[in-house]
Structures are given as C-alpha cells and as structure tokens.
Structure 1
Amino acid sequence: MTNPPTTALVTGATSGIGRATAVQLAAQGIHVVVAGRNAERGHEVVAQIRAANGRADFLEADLHNEETAKRAAAEAVVLAGGRIDILVNSAGIFPFGPTAETTEEVFDAVFDTNVKAAYFLVAALAPLMAERGAGAIVNITTMVAEFGANGMALYGASKAALGLLTKSWAAEFGPKGVRVNAVGPGPTRTEGTAVMGDALDAQATLGPAGRPGTADEIANAIVFLATDASSFIHGAILPVDGGRIAV
C-alpha cells in the first residue's frame, strides 16, 4: 500500500478472531467497520474501541450471498467515510461431522458463508481499492484446509476454496496495488470453539506449541498482513497454528 490504511471492514467481528482483529486495527488508528449478525455484541465491540479512543461503527450484516455481500460493502463504504482500505473476511461457520450425515442445507450454508460471501465482498471492494492503487485483503482459512481431518471435510473444503481464491485474487489485483493474503489458524480458543471442549486441547497437543492459540495471537498475524509491515507479501497463506501443519 502506498499510503497508510485509514479504514477497515472486518466481517465476523462481533466475537472471537474477528473481534480481536477489529480491536487491534482500531488501536493502530484505523477506522473499523465492525460487521456481524449480532447487534448487541457488535455495539459492545464498538463501545470497547471507542472507550480506548478508537474509531468504529457497527454494521449489521448476515452475509451469505451476492446481494447481502454487496449491500454490506456499500454500507461499509458510507460508514467509513467513502472508502475501505482493508477487508478482513473473518465471518465463517464450521459445523463438523461425518460426510454421510451432512445435509444439503448445511452444505450450502457453509459454502454460502465461507466462500460466496467473501467472493462477492472482494468483487465489490477490490476494484475500488485498485482504482486508488492501494488496499489489503486478508482471508481467514484454517489448518484443516491443508490436510485431511476426520469430520472436517466440508469445513476444510470451503476454506481450501478460499485459499485458492486468495492466490487467484493476488494475481488479479496485486499488479494494481491490492495485496491479498490469508491466515490459516490452528486450534484457537474462542467463543465459537468452546463447544469442542477437551477435543480442542487434544487437537492442539499434536502441534509443537502443545496448546490452543488465542484470538489475539491470530489477530496479530491478520493485522501484520493487513498493514504496511507486510508490504512485499502477496498471495501467502500464513499458518498460525502452533506448528501443526509443519509436523
């Protein structure tokens, strides 16, 4: 990016990794549009950021298709004062389970949220960034997009698609000044993964770190890729998984 970023849209920002990312970006002086489905939690994030003298606004958005994505993009541009410099695609759902027990409804919901919404957000915002010659997009994938895992076929496949899109978008928009990268989290302790219980810790013991990560640790990497500290990085998928895919 040729100029320091001043605005960001973070989806899935009302909890977990998205929330931590929104708070960290705001701490760097970036005006953050906090997007999510839960208005109560969204306003709490905004209040937290503003209490620390940051700038933030809440955008209620249930992202699942072209219409909802493009509407959210347009509303975010208005809330941010006319431009979005950073897009973080953090919204996602992750139902786990056997392939034979997956319904078509669940299949469609996972790909609609994890792939289609991100695709059309990029379609709406990346060309605007390219017109200005600067911008950064960070997608959130997962370590199980890199290897087979029992019960995670659907979730892993959706995030693997997002990983390939990351590289394709880097090739498409990088020459116009828009950097596109991704972060691949491993086992991370958040509100959403609390239902995994001991299974989360068991998964984490398979990596060198031997423990689950925190939302802030994942957000550190996202903010790195979203800002000028990573100005020469394009099309990368940065594993932040305690070393799990390295062993």
Structure 2
Amino acid sequence: MTQDFAGRTALVTGGNSGIGRAVAGLLADRGARVVISGRDAARGDKAVEEIRAAGGTADFVQADLADLDSVRSLAARSIELGGGHVDVLINNAGIFPFGPTAEVPVSDFDEVYAVNVRAPFYLVAELAPLMAARGHGAIVNLTTMVASFGLAGMAAYGSSKAALQLLTKAWAAEFGPAGVRVNAVSPGPTRTEGTAVLGENLDGLAGTTPLQRVGRPDEVAEGIVFLASDAASLIHGAVLPIDGGRLAV
C-alpha cells in the first residue's frame, strides 16, 4: 500500500462505522493521521483500536453534529491532534429520516439539515481557510443518488444532500484558487449499520440500478480516498456517482 497521505491529517466525520469506517481505515493504511468523529464513544474507541492494531495512527473525538458548538469544538480538536493542521476533510456523517412530507416532524426536518448541511458548512468554514493558507487540501462530501432525482418519502433527506452537492461546487469555486480541492461522492444503496433499518427496501433500491446489487462500504471508500488523493489533482467541484449505475439510467 502506498503512503501517499504520509504527514497529512484527515478528519472523517462518522468514521466509526459504515462507509466512514472504511474510509478511515484506508486513509490510515496510506499513511494519514486519522481523526474519527462520532456520537458513540465505544464504537469510536473500537475503530481507533483496530486502526492502531493495523499499524495506523488514529484518534477519536466524540461529537454531536446536530450541535453547532460541538461542530466547532471538533474542528478545533482535530487541528490540535493534527499538530496545527487538517489536510483532508471527509464530510461523511449524515442522517436519513424517511417518510411522507406531511408526516415529517419539524424536529426531524431541523435535525437532518443541521447534520447534513450545517455541520459540513461550518467544518469547511473552520478548516478550509487554514488549508488555503497552507496552499493545499482536499475535501470530499458524501451525498446520495436521491439528491439527483425525486423519490417518494425522501424529500427532506434528498434535498439536504442536494444542498451539499451545490455547496461542493460553490466551495470548489471559492477555495480552488488557493489549492484546496472540493469534490463529492454520491453513493447508491450500500449495506452499512445505518442502512440496516431499511431492510428489504435497500435491496429494492439496488434492484433499480444496472448492477442490481447493494454496494459495500469499501467499494465507496475507494472512490472517496481517490478524490482526496493527489491522483485526483485536476478534479475540482465534481460529484462522482458510486451507485451501481443508477444515475446512468
């Protein structure tokens, strides 16, 4: 495995499970010092132990991304753990309450926008200017295939991720001239701890894709880490679908 992230610090939100955990492990394997955030301290500590046991460098920071003070504290702590810098930000964490529009509680609507839009916005606000001052950095946002087409029951979730897709392009325009690349990955149905609640619906969604199977976290992680790497040096403001071909049909 190449060590192309050696000397770099990467913050992976929601890095204690699912796609985020796969990303954190891959970045650590490639030499990055990884900071994992999440709400579940036991799960976060376990992820860190596994990465360290494999020879990587990792720390866990407990954070509630629905709380703005916690978001800012996470940014500050990540900078501290990184020796004064964060070079890679993976905005992976997200929540996805589903249901008919008329039945979505205000509390759910507010929380999905707080976690899926406000938290990435203010992490970028805290970290991207420091990346720009150093002349380099990479940010990868996780969106969803339902940010690009309408699906019943996913109005709140899909629209929050559509906002993140637009932010990806706006941030690429804003920070790109200073050497900071901002891109996004749009996963399709992926089997994780979080999507387990969907049950057979996950397989049903996968059945609408040309590949006709549910994806694995490591398959999505490979694309995310590619976009964060120097191998993607000319890619700015892109949204990479990793969805078994769903957006192609």
- TMscore range, shorter length: over 0.9
Distance 1:243 1:43 in 2: 35
User: How far off is 1:82 after superposition?
Assistant: 1.5
Distance 1:236 1:177 in 2: 15
Give 1:218's aligned residue.
220
SS of the residue 1:96 aligns to = coil
CA contact (8 A) 2:6 2:31 kept: no
User: How far off is 1:66 after superposition?
Assistant: 3.3
Distance 1:160 1:149 in 2: 13
2:116 aligns with one of 110, 114, 120: 114
CA contact (8 A) 2:7 2:33 kept: no
Structural mapping, 1:151-190, within 5 Å = 151-190=153-192
Give 2:64's aligned residue.
62
Distance 2:137 2:7 in 1: 8
Structural mapping, 1:115-154, within 5 Å = 115-154=117-156
CA contact (8 A) 1:65 1:116 kept: no
Which runs of no fewer than 5 residues in structure 2 stay unpaired?
none
SS of the residue 2:139 aligns to = strand
SS of the residue 2:47 aligns to = helix
User: How far off is 1:22 after superposition?
Assistant: 0.4
Taking only aligned residues, the RMSD between alpha carbons, in angstroms, comes to 1.0
AA aligned to 1:16 is: G
CA contact (8 A) 1:18 1:91 kept: yes
AA aligned to 1:76 is: S
Give 1:75's aligned residue.
77
CA contact (8 A) 1:32 1:57 kept: yes
User: How far off is 1:67 after superposition?
Assistant: 2.1
CA-to-aligned-CA distance 1:175-225 (integer Å, 9 cap, x gap): 000000000000000011111111111110111111010111111110000
SS of the residue 1:188 aligns to = coil
Distance 1:31 1:225 in 2: 17
Which runs of no fewer than 5 residues in structure 1 stay unpaired?
none
SS of the residue 2:172 aligns to = helix
CA-to-aligned-CA distance 1:64-104 (integer Å, 9 cap, x gap): 24322211100011112211000000111001000000011
Distance 1:119 1:219 in 2: 22
TM-score normalized by the length of structure 1:
0.97
SS of the residue 1:189 aligns to = coil
Question: How many equivalent residue pairs?
Answer: 245
